[in-house]
Amino acid sequence: TKRNPIFTADLLRGTPGVTIQPGAAGGRDRVLMRGAAGGGSCIPALFVNGMLTPTPDGILENIVTANDVRAVEVYSRMSSTPPEYQSRNGCGSIVIWTGARRR
């Protein structure tokens, strides 16, 4: 991407509805969203290449590195999330596509 991210969470900085929580003691950053009905922060569902991928800690870097990311889709509200990327977690969804980037 044009952002030159170091970590996967860097790709989502400044995205509406997404909060990046800095890692403690040099740890990796957590990616959070606003919960349904204003229920505080929650860990969004993560789909990698269309597959639901468990991310219980919200640290995307444990699943995919920034260099492997080709595209990212962010759905911060259930009403705007396509059915194939919805989950029952009451939070939004992040869809990451990996592979070689097109020039």
Cα-flanking dihedrals φ and ψ of residue 11, to 5°?
A: -65, -25
Beta strands in the chain (DSSP E): 18-21, 30-34, 41-42, 45-48, 51-52, 69-75, 93-98
Predicted pLDDT of residue 24: 65
Predicted pLDDT of residue 20: 93
- Mind listing the pLDDT tens digit of every residue in the chain (103 residues)? 466 788 899 999 989 989 999 886 567 899 999 876 666 788 999 999 999 999 989 999 999 999 999 999 999 877 788 989 988 777 889 999 998 766 6
Residue spans per domain, the chain? 8-98
State pTM to two decimals.
Answer: 0.86
Looking at 2.170.130.10, 2.40.480.10, 2.60.120.10, 2.60.40.10, the CATH number of the domain 8-98 comes to 2.170.130.10
